[in-house]
């Protein structure tokens, strides 16, 4: 669950307090869900080259989430608002993994989806806004053991202000950058959050 914890912190970062947050939340009024294609790059001191992966993420305003790792391997997390199911793609089919603690999953995914609904307590971070970016430093001592700071870079998509890149600087100096290559705002929730049916209603939604 460590990567979920880190990812939750990463996403919670965008729920800052200044005008950028207001612009982002206003941009999402009337939206049912967000669909994103992400190029993730992790820089680890032990390796000469960054570790890259491709993700597709769906976030609903209701708090549901679907995170699908597409490359270099396939894995899947589905959160239906109450419980979390995790899968790995093995031998041509999805294999369900051990269930996560439901209360922990709800807390983490609540933070992750909260960046898009504005339901994040920014009191957890010291926030600095500069231009179109936000830099957040965690206040919690336990979180500081993992995260030094989080940088959110926003951009305009027509009349809307959306997150374009999120970078997490770890306490040990490693970093993870998530470049949001594309972002679709959907008027309704897609029906792809059945924790027992990972392939349900995905026709036409594959990259």
Q: Would you say 43 and 175 are in contact if contact means Cβ atoms under 8 Å apart?
A: yes
Q: Retrieve residue 125's tokens.
A: 């971070």
137, 125 Cβ separation under 8 angstroms: yes
**Does residue 65 surpass a pLDDT of 60?**
yes
Residues 153/132, Cβ–Cβ less than 8 Å: yes
Per-position DSSP letters for 44-74, written without gaps between them = -TT-SS-EEEEEEEEEETTS-EEEEEEESS-
Residue 140's pLDDT is 80
Give how far Cα 54 sits from Cα of 45, 74, 86, 142, Å.
21, 9, 17, 29
Residue 14 · residue 115 · CB < 8 Å: yes
d(CA 42, CA 139): 24
Model pLDDT, residue 135: 82
Instruction: Say how far apart CA 165 and CA 188 lie, in whole Å.
Output: 25
- The pLDDT tens digits of the residues spanning 21-64 come to 788 788 888 999 999 999 999 999 889 899 999 999 999 988 89
- Cα 2 from chain centre: 14
pTM for this prediction = 0.79
> Are the beta carbons of 57 and 68 closer than 8 angstroms?
yes
Tell me: the pLDDT tens digits for 127-169? 788 888 878 788 888 778 888 988 888 888 888 888 888 888 9
Q: What is the reported pLDDT for 16?
A: 43
pLDDT for residue 15: 44
Q: How many CB atoms lie within 10 A of CB 37?
A: 16
C-alpha–C-alpha distance, residues 184 and 15, integer Å:
20
Instruction: Tell me the average pLDDT across 102-109.
Output: 78
């Amino acid at each position: 669950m460590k990567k979920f914890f880190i990812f939750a912190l990463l996403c919670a970062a965008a729920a800052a307090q200044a005008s950028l947050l207001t612009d982002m939340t206003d941009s999402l009024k009337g939206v049912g869900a967000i669909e994103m294609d992400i190029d993730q790059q992790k820089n680890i001191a032990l390796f000469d080259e960054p570790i890259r992966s491709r993700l597709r993420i769906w976030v609903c305003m209701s708090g549901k989430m679907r995170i699908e790792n597409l490359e270099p391997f396939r894995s899947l997390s589905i959160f239906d608002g109450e419980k979390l199911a995790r899968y790995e793609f093995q031998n041509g089919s999805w294999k369900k993994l051990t269930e996560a603690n439901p209360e922990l999953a709800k807390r983490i995914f609540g933070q992750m989806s909260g960046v898009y609904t504005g339901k994040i307590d920014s009191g957890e971070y010291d926030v600095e806004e500069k231009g179109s970016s936000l830099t957040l430093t965690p206040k919690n001592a336990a979180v500081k053991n993992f995260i030094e700071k989080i940088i959110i870079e926003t951009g305009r998509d027509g009349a809307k202000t959306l997150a374009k890149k999120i970078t997490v600087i770890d306490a040990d100096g490693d970093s993870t950058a998530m470049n949001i290559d594309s972002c679709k705002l959907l008027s309704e929730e897609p029906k792809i959050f059945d924790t027992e049916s990972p392939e349900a209603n995905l026709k036409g939604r594959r990259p």
